[in-house]
Structure 1
Amino acid sequence: MDWKGYTAIYVVLFAFATAQAVVEFTGLVDSAYWAAFAIIMVLSVIKAVGVAAYYQHLRWEPRAVTYLVLGGTVAALALTGAAAYSIL
């Protein structure tokens, strides 16, 4: 991927981060907490996939490497959920 591609991905990530800040700080959906939470989480997942795919080069790696990273991510989320549940 050339510099133009990286720059385009950076601009998209910057726009999504700005959208998250607007949702959080302007109180645009302040009355609907879960709607704001859902919007921020969806944008975060899109940003994480974009970073992993382009900046960590998973898009051009063999599928086995992508599945290995995905498995590690699922395991980390499961452990985080278990830790949060055990605190209650």
Structure 2
Amino acid sequence: MTNTKLYTIIYVVLFASATVQVLVEFAGVAYWTAFGLIIVLSAVKAVLVAAYFQHLRWEPRSLTYLVGIGLAAALALTLAASYSIL
């Protein structure tokens, strides 16, 4: 059975962090400070979505590690592609 209260709290946290990201973008904060904050908030949101909405929180750890390895590979390929453009 789904826990509606838990999903509501996670939704509110995701909504609030998205709002903070927009506010940081328009606040006139230094570029690298804003960039770092937005990256951290995006990572937190990605972990929450993967853990709860994609149900990785309740899956066996081996499946979670498999998804983590796929994510690391995708990030590595993206980083390599961004350096090859320069």
So what's the TM-score if we normalise by structure 2? 0.95
User: 1:21 maps to what in 2?
Assistant: 22
Aligned to 1:78: 76
| Displaced runs of 4 or more, over 4 A | none
Cα distance, 1:52 vs structure 2: 0.3
Matched, 1:42 2:43: no
Q: Which ranges of structure 2 fall in alignment gaps of 5 or more residues?
A: none
Q: Does 1:11 align with 2:12?
A: yes
1:26 deviation in Å? 2.8
Q: CA separation in 1, counterparts of 2:44 and 2:79?
A: 21
3-state secondary structure, aligned to 1:70: helix
Q: Matched residues in 1 for 2:79 and 2:36: separation?
A: 18
CA RMSD of aligned residues (A): 0.8
Q: Is residue 52 from structure 1 mapped to residue 58 from structure 2 by the alignment?
A: no
Q: CA deviation at 1:87?
A: 1.0
User: Would you say how many aligned residue pairs link Structure 1 and Structure 2?
Assistant: 85
- Percent identical pairs in the alignment equals 69
For structure 1, the residue ranges without an aligned partner over 5 or more in a row are none
> 1:45, 1:54 → 2: CA distance?
14
TM-score by length of 1: 0.93
